[in-house]
A = this chain, B = another copy of it.
Amino acid sequence: MSQYEKTCLIRGDSGRTIRAILDRIGNKWTLLIVATLHGGRMRFTELQQHIPGISQRMLSLSLRHLERDGLISRTAHAEVPPRVEYELTPMGQTLIVPAITLAEWAVEHNPGIERSQTAYDSRDD
């Protein structure tokens, strides 16, 4: 399968597939949570500490979305005080590879992009 044919995966179906994942992971926190959970099972507060800047509300919302998508699993232990642990499902684990691919692209090309932006912003036409 050629690269050109593969881009049809993106454009085909009027782009519904690609938009579906972007709606899923294109937000501010999802990939950060998935990457953090790659280190293993974690509880709510622990996640919050590993992801600086996330609010309780957004962490809670994001976790429920990810659980609904089947990418993470939630385990509530019947204890006092309550203990709830989150971990990646097997399907969630598979998201790591595309996420890394994307991150590596970002790291590699960020300098070039920023240079381009500076040039664009300082041109006077």
A110–B17 CA distance with the chains assembled, in angstroms: 8
Known: A17-B106, A22-B28, A110-B17. A116 touches B9 (CB 8 A): no
A83 within 8 A of B: no
Closest Cβ–Cβ distance, residue A5 to chain B (whole Å): 10
Q: Is the CB of B104 within 8 A of A102?
A: no
A28 to B14, CA, bound (A): 12
- Whether A102 lies near B105 (C-beta < 8 A) is no
Question: Can you list 11 A-B contacts (CB < 8 A)?
Answer: A3-B38, A7-B38, A10-B100, A15-B32, A22-B31, A70-B115, A70-B117, A91-B112, A91-B113, A94-B109, A97-B101
